[in-house]
Each structure stands twice: as C-alpha cells, then as structure tokens.
Amino acid sequence: MERVKEAKNVLSCKIAESNLHSFFIDFDLNDEGTLTQMLNKFVRLLMEEIPSFAFGYHQSTNIPQEQILRLLIDAANSIYKIDAYNKVALKYEAGEVIDDDIDDKYLRRGEFGELILHFVLKYFFDTVPLVAKVYFKDSYGHAVHGFDSVHIQPETNTLWLGESKLYTDGERGVDALIQDLFDHFNASYFDNEFTIISKRIKDTKKELKQEIDNPEYWIKLLNSYTKLSDQLDNIIIPFFCAYETSVFDHFDDDKTFTSRYIEETNRLNERFLNKKKTHPWHGKLNVIVILMPLDSKRKLVSALHHKLKTIQSLGG
C-alpha cells in the first residue's frame, strides 16, 4: 500500500474515466523555490520496478536484503541483452532520439514504453504481471508473446493485454496503437500468442502458484477451444501512449493548464475511438485508453538509460 502512495505522489492521474485515463509526472518545489516536474523521482521509481518488470513472478519475490543489489544488476543485464535496448541506449548517449517515422520499429521497444505501462497497470489498476517477456527471452531463449504487457487483475479475474507507444507526436502514437489493434486483435494472432503465453505459464507454474492463485484458470481461458467470445469477455486491453506536448508551459496557470490538458486528451481519445470503430470486434473489446503527456521524451528516455546503465555497471 505504501508503494502505491509513492507512485501516486509522483505520477498524477488527471483524468480517470471508465475507458480513459491520463497521467502526468507531477510538479514539486526545487531548491530555487520554483515548481518543476519530479522527473528524477519518477525515473527512480521505474528503476526500483525493474526486477518486477524483467522477472515478474517467475522468480521468488521473497529476496533476502543482501541479494537485492544482485537482483537489480541481473535485471539490468537481462534487459540489455535485448538488442533494442542496447541500440537505443547508444543512440541517446550520442544525443540522438528515435524519430516517430523510424524504419526499424523494433527499436521502439528500447524506449521503455513497456516498463511505464507495467508500472501504471500495477499501481493504478491493481494488476500483477502474469508473463514477463524479459525473463523468458534471457533465461530460456524461448519465443515470447507479442503483447507489450500480460497482466492479470485478481479481483475481477481479468486478463490485461497491453500495448504501449512512446512518441514525440501524440497523434502518430495513437495511430500506431490503432495499427496494433488491427494487427494483434484477431483470431489468428490470438491463437498463436495464447499458445505461447500458456507455455510460458506452464514453464514456471510452480513459482506462479506461490504468488498467483490458480494458474490453471488462465491456461483454460487461453485454450484454443475456449470460445473467442468468452475470452473477450474476460480480457481488458489497455492502450498506452506517452507523447510530447506543450501543455506544461501553462502549468503555473491552473485554469489554462487544465483546459488545454483536457482538450488535448479528449482530442487524442476521440481520434483513437473513431478509428477503433472500423475494427470488426469494436463492440466486443474492453479497451482502456491511457495517455501520458511528457514535457520531453528525450529527457525521460535518456535518464532511464543512464540510471539503468549505472545499475548494470555495479556488476563490474
């Protein structure tokens, strides 16, 4: 519970509706007495979340104090074994940034959109990770699922299949999410991905049983002979997009800031919903749009890589 309070002190939820949420890194006084975003605290919270993001519940969560640093280093090493993270880290170290129209879309994974989505789902929607991509890629060399997050919500017994984008332009980020909607939410993709996810659950069923009640429930839900309509009834789809904006230029004027913030959020949400209507399943999909405006994408991603590289370097 204390961790949830810490998360909510740093990441403010400006809009909370049933199918639309919007968050931003909150502001606090600096040494000069002016308000500035708590970027460093947000980055620190994300770094503390790295073991959960990388390993999920596939490894024991009861870690002795003397092994905490080792776990952080192992998690950092596992992440940087993924080519996209290494390549993006080098680009940002050189002062470059990943353009919205980059040809190599795989590089976007190295910008931590998946990590931020993991954090938001865990502390604002009370989910827990069911399958961790990084763990299986590093430990088993197995194929991993194509969704950016696979979480569960224990109270509602729902499976959360998330997609994430971190863009400079919000409209292009939303459009990229729509592309994921059409690419990933169809019977063929479900069959392939659910088979992989089920195998990953079975690979670590013993460990999962210690942390998650009844892994068999999720295996049955993902079974290829379970009706698609039943699966969709039990699936929540968070579509997350972080993007740059100028609305924070008006943060010292609460009325103007709030007005422009809400206007921009609603505009991006309407763009998503209008394009979602053309999907054959649009009336059956339980979608939550999660938007996160940023003052600077470059500053956030650079800070995250700097911190994670520092943690990795502690391993020698």
Predicted local confidence at residue 101, as pLDDT: 85
Predicted local confidence at residue 141, as pLDDT: 43
Query: Between residues 137 and 44, which one has the greater pLDDT?
Result: 44
Instruction: Dig out the tokens for 178 from the structure.
Output: 């729509």
Within the chain, strands assigned E span 11-16, 20-25, 27-29, 35-37, 128-131, 149-153, 158-167, 235-244, 286-294
Question: With 80 as the cut, is the pLDDT of residue 171 above it?
Answer: yes
Domain ranges of the chain: 2-36+113-298
268-281 confidence digits (pLDDT tens) = 999 999 999 999 99
pTM: 0.94
